[in-house]
Amino acid sequence: MTHLSRPPFALLGALILACLTQACATKEKMEGLYTLTNSNGMRAGIIAYGGALVELTAPDRSGKLSDVVLATDDLTGMKKQTAFFGALIGRYGNRIGHAQFTLDGQTYKLPNNDGANTLHGGPNGFDKQIWSAEPGSSPEGQTLTLAYASKDGEMGFPGALSAKVVYTLTSHNELKIDYTATTDKPTVVNLTNHAYFNLAGEGDILGHEVMINGDRFTPVDEGLIPTGELKAVKGTPFDFTTPTAIGARIEQDDQQLKFGKGYDHNWVLNKTDASLTKAAEVREPKSGRVMEVWTTEPGLQFYTGNFLDGSITGKGRAFNRRNAFCMETQHFPDSPNKPDFPTTTLRPGQTYHTTTVYRFSAK
């Protein structure tokens, strides 16, 4: 097991140089930081704690590379922060209402860590675990394979779950994330990544222009649990079917925006199967950076950093409200309690597999 010391990113220069001369990702032995690079100079930094993405550089329209994700400066900060910066989320991403669900007639009680609800797998979810890590390569680019074995009953979830996540940084400036899992008992699973993006590199994200390929979203109650309705976005502040600045309507007098203190909702993507399709696109006008989100998942949680308050710091600055956005590809929140939502049940003999791609370019 490796541990990060202060600061974990100070040796990036040496890591990058090593990566350029090797065919696979490199690991700095003392720091526990793995760095993937591609031929275009992009790099992705990932740590074993929480499988967290702590650095991701992307070029602007002039070719300048900047880090576009938020992270703290050391492992101590990562453990203290409660914003899930860049972490792998499980066993169940997003919220489960009243911290319980029923599967095959049996009710499972979960620890509540978000009011009366369970958020992102509970207080000791996959984001708080040390994942085994194996750097490597594929025809697409450098890879990092992470694995975690979740015990039966961990955080109240049934079944021993074997989870594997592969990060790949491709030559097409894509960060590809493949998730797989198997179980020995019926369970529920909904894995995702909780990266916080800012395509300008700093400042607020209100000027970022967003398109989401979803004609409906799942309205929530005051506790941010879906009501079960699939509501049309047309005529609401949730209509991002054409590119719209995040700040254009975020302060409108809308009950759903008040519940989330901004956008913190799941969009129902316009798709009928589990093929890899484009879910969203974000453009930052000043830098020209563009991020496309492609996924096999049916939903996308769009969150605008509404609960960041400056108390978490990293990379030379405090992270204030709306300094970043998240696009968490997923099944819908509270699906185990919503039989009309796409199922998140995984049974023995089945393999859970999803893919998400964050593709970067500049215009």
> Active-site residue numbers?
194, 328
Cα 137 from Cα 214, distance rounded (Å): 34
| DSSP conformation class of 33 | E
- The length of the chain in residues reads 363
Three-state DSSP class for residue 164: strand
Burial (CB count <10 Å: 0-12, 13-18, 19+), residue 63: exposed
C-beta of residue 157 within 8 angstroms of C-beta of residue 93? no
Q: What is the DSSP letter of 130?
A: B
Cis bond upstream, residue 91 (ω within 30): yes
CA distance 14 to 28: 9
Q: Is 255 helix (H, G, I), strand (E, B) or coil?
A: helix
Q: What is the DSSP letter of 80?
A: H
Residue 256 DSSP SS3:
helix
Give the separation between CA 329 and CA 69, rounded to whole angstroms: 16
